[in-house]
Chains A and B, each alone.
Chain A
Amino acid sequence: EIVLTQSPGTLSLSPGERATLSCRASQSVSSYYLAWYQQRPGQAPRLLIYGASSRATGIPDRFSGSGSGTDFTLTISGLEPEDFAVYYCQHYGGSPPVTFGPGTKVDI
């Protein structure tokens, strides 16, 4: 089973700053199977990034993903007020078919 670890647990930043979120897999995974989601308070998760670096439909270009092997990064360049949320990474494949990381909260 792939275990995902996210760091930091909480990231305290100000609007306009750059956020760098980390997701580490317990073993090497294909970048095809790594995705990132945003969850605002009281809302459902929203797909941001799939295939480690491809933005989903309608996602602003201030969101970018990178990485390979066991280390993946979500970068938000220039935080907007609506970006303060919890971010989850996800691996697809294996058993169980889907695993999520514990999340990183980005707050002010």
Chain B
Amino acid sequence: EVELVESGGGLVQSGGSLKLSCAASGFTVSTNYMSWVRQAPGKGLEWVSIIYSGGTTFYSDSVKGRFTISRLNSKNTVYLQMTSLRAEDTAIYYCARDRGYDLYAFDIWGRGTLVTVSS
């Protein structure tokens, strides 16, 4: 079964750091594009970051310089290292398989992990 499971969310103070994990099963993250998408409480979806199969990464302007996406092929897991966290980073963070090479859409989503940044 194809599945993504996020973990690592929690309560952190403003200025702090947190590292999210996204464990994949049923497919290989290193041969796919993988993205993180977040959703602030009661708000819409916001794309955060992507890591391409070749390893190139991109970030939204709102997190550039503070967040780092990476992957560990041996664990079939994608990560999002978040530093200098702000109250506006409070959101559910979803990991998604990014079919930007054929469907140009996200076809598999995890259930998400909640990050709360207290000021």
Contact status A88-B105, CB under 8 Å:
no
B109 pairs with A44, CB closer than 8 A: yes
Beta-carbon contact of A50 and B103 below 8 Å:
yes
Distance, CA A74 to CA B99, complexed state (A)? 21
A88 to chain B, nearest CB (A): 6
> CB within 8 A of A45: which of B99, B103, B104, B106?
B106
Segment of B39-47, B65-73, B74-82 in the binding face: B39-47
Give the distance in Å from the alpha carbon of A39 to the alpha carbon of B58 in the complex: 25
A53 to chain B, nearest CB (A): 12
Point out the residue from B60, B94, B105, B109 that lies within 8 Å of A90, measured CB to CB.
B105
Could you give, for residues 20-53 of chain A, a 1 whenever the CB lies within 8 Å of some chain B CB and a 0 otherwise? 0000000000001101010100011111001100
- CB-CB < 8 A to A96: which residues of B? 47, 58, 60-61
User: Across the interface, which residues of B come within 8 angstroms of A88, CB to CB?
Assistant: 44-45
Chain B residues touching A, range:
20 to 34
The A-B contact count (CB < 8 A) is: 66
Q: Which residues of B contact A46 (CB under 8 A)?
A: 109
Q: State the CA gap A103–B44 with chains docked (Å).
A: 7
Residues of chain B from 31 to 52 with CB closer than 8 A to chain A in the complex: 35, 37, 44-47, 50
Chain B residue at smallest Cβ distance from A30: B104
Which residues of chain A are within 8 angstroms of B58 by Cβ–Cβ distance?
A: 96-97
Which of B37, B94, B104, B112 gathers the greatest number of chain A CB atoms within 10 Å? Answer: B104
Binary contact readout B4-22 vs A (1 if CB under 8 angstroms, 0 otherwise): 0000000000000000000
Bound CA span A16–B45, Å:
28
Beta-carbon contact of B109 and A92 below 8 Å: no
Could you tell me which B residues sit within 8 Å of A by CB distance?
35, 37, 44-47, 50, 58, 60-61, 94, 99-100, 103-107, 109-112
Question: 27 A–B contact pairs at CB < 8 A?
Answer: A32-B104, A33-B104, A35-B103, A35-B106, A37-B45, A44-B109, A44-B110, A44-B111, A45-B109, A46-B109, A47-B103, A47-B107, A50-B105, A50-B107, A51-B103, A56-B105, A88-B44, A90-B45, A92-B105, A93-B104, A96-B61, A97-B58, A98-B47, A98-B50, A100-B46, A102-B44, A103-B44
